[in-house]
Amino acid sequence: MTEPTETTTHADPAPADAAVLVRDAVDADRAAALVGSCTVDYDGRASGHVDPGVRHVVRQPDGTLLVHGATGHRPLAWHAGDGDFTTTATADDRLVLRAESNTEELTVALDAVHALTVYDPDDADKDVQGTEADVVSRLLNDPDLVESGFTPLATERDTPAGPVDIYGRDANGRICVVEVKRSRVGPDAATQLDRYVRALREDLHTDSDIRGILVAPSVTQKCRDILLERGHDFSPFEA
Amino acid sequence: MTEPTETTTHADPAPADAAVLVRDAVDADRAAALVGSCTVDYDGRASGHVDPGVRHVVRQPDGTLLVHGATGHRPLAWHAGDGDFTTTATADDRLVLRAESNTEELTVALDAVHALTVYDPDDADKDVQGTEADVVSRLLNDPDLVESGFTPLATERDTPAGPVDIYGRDANGRICVVEVKRSRVGPDAATQLDRYVRALREDLHTDSDIRGILVAPSVTQKCRDILLERGHDFSPFEA
DNA sequence: GCCTAGGTCCCGTCT
DNA sequence: AGACGGGGCCTAGGC
């Protein structure tokens, strides 16, 4: 009975027709993509407004509502996939899409719909390689990449300040906290490492006999300064 | 001569036809939105692959290429608006979109195009209120919100560790570094404030006579612990 | 060009 | 549910 539904496109639908089409798409857990002239109003954690213009509006089956403009990766406005979604054809012939949750609301008011496409997006099976976790694997397979003679003892070892990427011992048997980053890092990475080292020193009552090692392709100067000031080391490693 | 171009939609175009339509859209600085079945391959800072499925693919006039799936705000894959973009109809009747820059490449291979919309998105005039800058303005207008008797002296005052949000004096004349956040914060905000305070103490050679004040709606326990340990204060303020 | 920090960050993961 | 950290983070502003 349920055969693969087809993608349907509509050129210049009247707002009242578009309202029905979008509502049907939502009811059928389908996606609706609109191109049209609209204003956008957001209110929630912050608030915002987008002046009239032609935008690309997408309502996904998970409830996400996105408004894309002409540039950039990020939507001009968006709403997470929870809460209510309503489509209304107004008396003055506009199509109003409204997503509303406990804390946020997003209203897209289209005075013209140039195109409407209803379709069935698939859930995505996505592989990514080159993440921080991949770098950690490499370092565990060849611990000398951290430092000659390094021995890993655990990953994600808990400290009062949070879990450390790699916990181990150096060639002299000193405990090491290793923080791994996949790309060049700034001051935040150095202070993150420092927090873990300090927490572990306090936890183990071994005042300063714990080393901190930051593994990353490279560090900025301010990062290097902080490492130096706090007595931690930088070990360059490029994935 | 150049009248407002219209949005055009095409249902189930042949890949060869779609290739021409997308290429024309790119040449005319227009946007193209496709719905179709495709695989996605990315290589660059990391690498990734998306298994076959129906996706929403958008090429914006600034060169951005986005692939959206069924869920979430973030694209399954994307490419920034620089470098080359090519559309190819292959011998085996697929449409291949390829965005390539010095460091990154993204390939979308569609075996079927269900819908293609070409349109002219407008540049966006966007207002946002409730940002951190807005909170700073409020605090400058009514410095008692930071702390009774607080006197602001500068915003974005430079220190060796970077510019501080608000620099001023408390009721007793002590120098204060104020870090402002618009929402509940964790350990990172506390260490950021601490870096500024330490840098300024070193810079002004006034060993510990500089206070750190974190202004935010609320803080997590770990954040509170760090503030306490480093001797800084928390001043709750909700926008 | 790099660096720094904000973001309606989003998002997964774990407590 | 809150919290914590990663992200191909993206993006804006300085220098």
pLDDT of A4 reads 57
Tell me the backbone φ, ψ of residue B88, rounded to 5 degrees.
-135, 135
Residues of A in contact with B192 (CB under 8 A): 188, 191
Q: What does pLDDT average to over chain A? A: 96
Residues of A in contact with B122 (CB under 8 A): 53-55, 69-70
pLDDT of A206 reads 84
pLDDT digits (tens, 9 = 90+) for A88-141: 999 999 999 999 999 999 999 999 999 999 999 999 999 999 999 999 999 999
Beta-bridge mates of residue A179? A214
pLDDT digits (tens, 9 = 90+) for B172-230: 999 999 999 999 999 999 999 999 999 999 999 987 799 999 999 999 999 999 999 99
pLDDT digits (tens, 9 = 90+) for A193-203: 999 999 999 99
Average pLDDT over residues B30-52: 98
pLDDT digits (tens, 9 = 90+) for B170-180: 999 999 999 99
Give the pLDDT band (50/70/90) at residue A1: very low
With CB atoms and an 8 Å threshold, state whether B48 touches A129.
yes
With CB atoms and an 8 Å threshold, state whether A126 touches B195.
no
With CB atoms and an 8 Å threshold, state whether A70 touches B128.
no
Of B47, B76, B129, the CB nearest to A48: B129
Residues 95-134 of A with CB under 8 A from B: 114-115, 117, 119-131
Whether CB of A16 is under 7 Å from strand D: the answer is no
Whether CB of B60 is under 7 Å from strand D: the answer is no
pLDDT digits (tens, 9 = 90+) for B139-176: 999 999 999 999 999 999 999 999 999 999 999 999 99
With CB atoms and an 8 Å threshold, state whether A124 touches B222.
no
pLDDT of A203 reads 94
pLDDT of B4 reads 57
Domains in chain A, CATH or no CATH each: 8-119 (2.70.180.20), 132-236 (3.40.1350.10)
Question: Crossing angle of helices B221-230/B187-204, nearest 10°?
Answer: 20
With CB atoms and an 8 Å threshold, state whether A130 touches B46.
yes
Give the pLDDT band (50/70/90) at residue A207: confident
Question: Crossing angle of helices A187-204/A221-230, nearest 10°?
Answer: 20
% residues pLDDT > 90 (chain A): 95
pLDDT of B1 reads 42
Parallel, antiparallel, or unpaired: how do β-strands A47-59 and B126-129 relate? Answer: antiparallel
% residues pLDDT > 70 (chain A): 98
Task: Report chain C positions within 7 A of protein CB atoms.
Answer: 2-12
Question: Crossing angle of helices A187-204/B187-204, nearest 10°?
Answer: 100
pLDDT of B207 reads 76
Whether CB of A103 is under 7 Å from strand D: the answer is no
Average pLDDT over residues A198-216: 93
Cβ-contact B99, B79 below 8 angstroms: yes
Q: Return contacts of A18-22, CB within 8 angstroms, 24+ apart.
A: A18/A87, A18/A89, A18/A95, A18/A110, A18/A113, A18/A116, A19/A87, A19/A88, A19/A89, A19/A95, A21/A116, A21/A118, A22/A59, A22/A87, A22/A95, A22/A97, A22/A116, A22/A118
pLDDT digits (tens, 9 = 90+) for B81-126: 999 999 999 999 999 999 999 999 999 999 999 999 999 999 999 9
